[in-house]
Amino acid sequence: MRNLLAFIFVLSLFGCEEHKDAVLDKDAFLVGTLDDYMGREKFQNKEDLVDYFALSEKQLGLTIDSIFKTTYADLEFSSSDLGNTDQTHYGLYSKELTERINTFYDFEASGRMEYTGEQSMSELNLDSLANDQEFLAKNFDTIYTGKLKPEAFKTHTQKLSFITGAYFRYGSQNDSQYQIRVSNSVSKAKLLNEFLLELGCDQVEYEIQDNIPNPHTLSFVPTEELKQQFELFEKLR
């Protein structure tokens, strides 16, 4: 019952379309939760993919689904096979929401391609096909990598929401010290560092470890405003 009440109250924080009384901005909150491992990927074959979620992150995905369900009729949360692996994840899908969220990013070609052909990769002789431009154009899709645009977050509420979303997915607490850890972050960790300082958090430290994967760790003491949001979302994990 306590989790249900917390869930209902969380939804109320985002207000509704007719009223401008929202405590949090749902777009900025969602962007805070999104994967930033080597940047946000965009390619034609998955133009409706908002994000993937591990099996342990089901509640996170369901919460986001509930926040946006009334706005995006095509929104779908379902289990999904991750690429050509045997791993099963959850996926959140909506072409309209994905297009909206991607406006928070600047994209450029990564130099990588995704295979979109029907024939199994194991059956292909890639060496002989490497210079076959027609085959490559038909069966491979350019992957674009997105970096967050700081100017997309104009208001205090957007910045507060972005940090809250990041904490909901990647955060932890040890007494008065809070942490957000994002592996191989291209732009999210750097922007979080800027916003934490701007919002007045204390003891903000940004550490990049020289490991593989490459953890980006932000340690800080949050403002009371942020702490209240963190404590509420902690109940939904």
* Residue 230 clears pLDDT 70, i.e. is over it: yes
The residues spanned by each domain of the chain are: 2-102+148-234
2's torsion region: left (phi>0), alpha (psi -120 to 50) or beta? alpha
The CATH fold of domain 2-102+148-234: Endonuclease I-creI (3.10.28)
- Tell me phi and psi for residue 201, to 5 degrees: -70, 150
pLDDT score at 212: 81
Q: What is the pLDDT of residues 4-14, one digit of tens each?
A: 555 565 666 67
- pLDDT (tens digit per residue) in 177-191: 999 999 999 999 999
Neighbours of 108 (CB within 10 A): 11
- Predicted confidence (pLDDT) at residue 97 exceeds the cutoff of 90: yes
Exposure string for 49-82, b = 16+ CB within 10 A, e = fewer:
bbbbbeeebeebbbbbbbbbeebbeebebeebee
Task: Reply yes or no on whether the pLDDT at 155 is more than 50.
Answer: yes
pLDDT tens for each residue of 189-220: 999 999 999 999 999 999 999 888 899 999 99
Distance (Å, whole) CA 128 – CA 66: 48
In Å, what is the CA distance from 226 to each residue of 149, 167, 196? 22, 10, 10
Q: Can you give the pTM of this predicted structure? A: 0.87
Contact indicator for 230, 178 with CB cutoff of 8 Å = yes
